[in-house]
Structure 1
Amino acid sequence: MRKTHLLGYAGFSGIFIFAISILLLHGRQPEISIRYDAMSYYVYGQLGWLLWAGLLGLGLGSLALAAGLWRIQKGAYARVGILCAGIWGTGLLIAAIFPTDPKGSWDQPPSTRGMIHFSAAIFAFIAITLAALFIAHAFIKDGHWKPVQKWIVPVTALTAISFILIMISIVSIFVSHGAPLYFGLTERLFFFMSLCWIGIASVGLLRSER
């Protein structure tokens, strides 16, 4: 089995680890609102270590995916997108190492670790959106992605739209002077679309064996 194939499975593994971690955390911490609260708050409740594990798994899986894409995609735009995918993975690892500030502290100055977490998350959100946009053309033209090509445009578009929604939610801090409006909902939507994009890219890596 070639290395590229293994990197494709690593991408799928990252999706699985993160998704299972969040589902388990939601079951154990129902007080964290899906509509209003960031997933990062899970770290302070029961089985909070699962958030660290989920971010670590998705971050490493994303870096493996970026390494695999680098091996088979040669275009300039694709390479820029792959670098952005690597930034996304790195941002997730940093966010895992530096937890966010506890829930209810939006009206207080952030701690150093809270600011690092927030900054890493913002850079990661921007990076995965740019990765999807830059690599979309290569995915459409490359036969490796034929089984999922019909999903490339809608998934890329929805990833961009979900990014806009989460940015609007974050900007609302300056209007409401409190927690971002519907941040929990927009963040979960954005992660769902990002996971869909990672899944599509992983399919291409697995098909690169053929």
Structure 2
Amino acid sequence: MGLVGVLTFWTGLAALHALRTDLSVVNDYVSDYANGPWGPLFTVVTLVHGVGNLAIAAGLGLALGHDRVARLGVLLFTVATVGLIVAALFPTDPVGAQQTVTGLVHRVAATGSFALELVALALLGLAFRSAAAWRSYASLALGLTVVAALMLAWLLVSISLQWPPGLPERAALLTFTVWEFTTALLLARPVHAARALSTRGRGGRHGDAPEMV
């Protein structure tokens, strides 16, 4: 489900970029695709992405066990996903239009989702280092987290200085979704999933799982 969510989101955004040539990759936010004739497509692919992320959160909660850092990371990742779903259900205001409550809810949800997911990724990266079954993935996960932090910083600077926000937002989205995709890919591996379930079923700690092969 996590893989389907990310792939659907990537495919939908690629289609929207081709269909909505009136919007600028450099000057416009991704959320601007929610307005106009193809708005429902943006809403649907974002909701599918959100459902996929909930599946990733459930899988990580099962695979990483009772480690406190992992549990906090999974919780924040889940809350960030709820923010993503809320942002999809409450579209942003059209460019140049007067601010509405719906648009305000979207901005708050989207901003909070970005921030919470970044913290979640950092915590989960640390949890991966402590879990034998995930240790080989920890360096890549933490590397993607650092890149995501840099892209978010670029976005915040662009907003504060009134620079075009399109490229930094898309760069941040790409980094976050690559992390989600690679994590879901590992969760979907039959051998890895079986070992995680076996360890959970025996009541073992997440760090007791064998190395990934």
8 Å CA contact 2:16, 2:33 repeated in 1: yes
8 Å CA contact 2:121, 2:142 repeated in 1: no
* Partners of 1:147 and 1:138 in 2: CA distance: 12
- 2:197 paired with 1:208: no
When the two chains are superposed, the root-mean-square deviation of aligned CA atoms in Å is 1.7
- 2:42 paired with 1:81: no
Question: Match for 2:169 among 182, 187, 193?
Answer: 187
Q: Which residue of 2 aligns with 1:7?
A: none
**What are the residue-to-residue correspondences of 1:53-72 with 2, within 5 Å?**
53-72=44-63
- 2:19 paired with 1:28: yes
- 2:42 paired with 1:51: yes
- 2:123 paired with 1:131: no
What one-letter code is carried by the residue in structure 2 that aligns with 1:195?
A: T
Structure 1 length-normalised TM: 0.84
**What are the residue-to-residue correspondences of 1:107-126 with 2, within 5 Å?**
108=98, 110-126=99-115
Specify which structure has the bigger relative contact order, considering alpha-carbon pairs within 8 angstroms and separated by 6 or more residues. Answer: 1
| Structure index of larger Rg | 2
Q: State how many pairs are aligned.
A: 191
8 Å CA contact 1:52, 1:96 repeated in 2: yes
1:197 to partner: Cα distance: 1.1
Q: Deviations 1:17-76 (Å, cap 9, x if unpaired)? A: 111110000000012111110111112234221110121011111111111111122211
1:77 to partner: Cα distance: 1.3
* Partners of 2:32 and 2:71 in 1: CA distance: 34
8 Å CA contact 1:144, 1:205 repeated in 2: no
Aligned-residue sequence identity (percent) comes to: 29
Runs of 4+ in 1 over 6 A off after TM superposition: none
Structure 2 length-normalised TM: 0.83
* Partners of 1:13 and 1:144 in 2: CA distance: 23
8 Å CA contact 1:133, 1:156 repeated in 2: yes
Q: Which residue of 2 aligns with 1:14?
A: 5
1:87 to partner: Cα distance: 1.2
Change (3 A) 1:141 1:200: farther
Q: Deviations 1:110-166 (Å, cap 9, x if unpaired)? A: 200000000000110001101111111122333433664442232111011112122
